[in-house]
Amino acid sequence: MKSQLIAAAGVLLMAVPVAAQQNHTTQARFVPFRPLTTDFEVILGDPEVSGQPFVMRIRELPGTIIPPHSHPVDEHITVLEGTFFFAVSDTFDLSLMKELKAGSYAFAPKGSTMFGASPDGAVVQVHGVGPFHIHWRDATKSLDDAGAHEVFRFRKGDTVVGSRGGGRIQQGYASGTHIQYEVELTNGTLVMETESALRKADTAPPVSAPPQDDRDAAALRAIVAAQAAAWNAGDGTAYAKDVSPDISFTNVFGMVMYGAEAFADRHRQILATFYKGTTKRHTIRRVRLVTPDVAIVDIDNEVRGIKAMPAGIAVPLDGVLKTQLMEVFVRRGGRWWVEAYHNVETKPAN
């Protein structure tokens, strides 16, 4: 092709070159399914050409989250391998995604906002009529871009440990407040990890979690990630979206409150006053399923950019507040709710 095709493994679909396709829609074509060894493969037509039908296959790496975006043309998606989660909505809420197993089909009208995820990896086939351009809702950046050090904690080549084991960072992608990395594990497998799930290989490991249902753990991690994103957007209402109507809430100042409305009011207040403009980072230490419908999530919580605090409470010298947050989740009606939220400031050991 003469231009760049914006697509790649569903990762963040950053701009990458594609070899010219010598395909003609007037000719018969038979393309058997085979495992993809590259991010994507165009098997018919040219997605860049206006009015030309195209078909392409995309490899979604395990752990992929595709941020909100839209296309100027209709998009048809068929899952060929694995399981893909997908939603069409202006609200970036991972709980809205529909599970699409191999053989499933989804349609997204042109101009609509969509997002997706693939916890365990998948291959999807996309077809439509070009030009298949991608418009990201939020600003995007990769580790190759100028100013990347201002957005990303890690660099290319860093040795890290994440939820799927140890490996080396190959690339990083950011869209708005959502940051994830392509990591090559020690066994050569490529996966995606969110920034909050990674640590440098030479730092102390988190407390290991017992075996647990991967899908439940992924759902819980998604809620915790959405909380951090809501905080960073200054949205106290969204921060409270997944709390139970009868939640028990203890904050870092020792205040005890009950109920979803009190929880939301408190977060709207603090994000409009002394925590305004701060950024939150959630690093999950452990996810433990106590029963199939009750889970405890331990979180290393960090709030950066603090310039003021309530009267009588000192502002951290470095503007960073570190706390240990424990959330208790209960599943009701097919979804997880935060029933208890207990946040305490961490102190050096004596």
Question: Could you give the domains of the chain?
Answer: 5-136 (2.60.120.10), 140-200 (2.30.30), 214-345 (3.10.450.50)
**Short-list 301, 113, 278, 330, CA closest to 225:** 301
Provide the pLDDT for residue 94.
Answer: 78
Write the burial class of residue 196 (CB in 10 Å: 0-12 exposed, 13-18 middle, 19+ buried). Answer: buried
Least confident of 94-103, 194-203, 274-283, 320-329: 194-203
Provide the pLDDT for residue 13.
Answer: 39
Percent of the chain whose pLDDT exceeds 90 = 65
The tens digit of pLDDT for each residue in 14-69 reads: 333 344 344 556 778 899 998 888 889 999 999 999 999 999 999 999 999 999 99
Of the pLDDT bands very low, low, confident and very high (cuts 50, 70, 90), residue 5 is very low
The end-to-end CA distance of the chain, in Å, is 64
- If residue 135 lies in a helix (H) or strand (E), which one and from where to where? strand 135-136
* pLDDT surpasses 80 at 202: no
Rounded CA gap, 142 and 278, in Å? 23
Rounded CA gap, 296 and 338, in Å? 10
The tens digit of pLDDT for each residue in 124-168 reads: 999 999 999 999 999 999 999 999 988 999 999 999 998 888 999
Cα dihedral 235→239→245→249 (10° resolution): -110
Rounded CA gap, 129 and 8, in Å? 18
Provide the pLDDT for residue 11.
Answer: 36
Give the pLDDT mean for 343-350: 73
336 touches 328 (CB < 8 A): no
Q: Report residue 73 as tokens.
A: 């043309």
Provide the pLDDT for residue 203.
Answer: 67
- Coil, strand or helix: which one is 314? coil
* pLDDT surpasses 50 at 334: yes
Please tell me whether the peptide bond between 131 and the residue prior to it is cis, using omega within 30 degrees of 0: yes
How far is the CA of 30 from the CAs of 36, 44, 126, in angstroms?
Answer: 17, 10, 16
Handedness of CA 146, 93, 133, 15 (dihedral sign): positive
Specify the pTM. Answer: 0.56
14 touches 139 (CB < 8 A): no
- Coil, strand or helix: which one is 12? coil
Percent of the chain whose pLDDT exceeds 70 = 89
What is the largest distance, in Å, between two alpha-carbon atoms of the chain?
77
Give the pLDDT mean for 229-234: 92
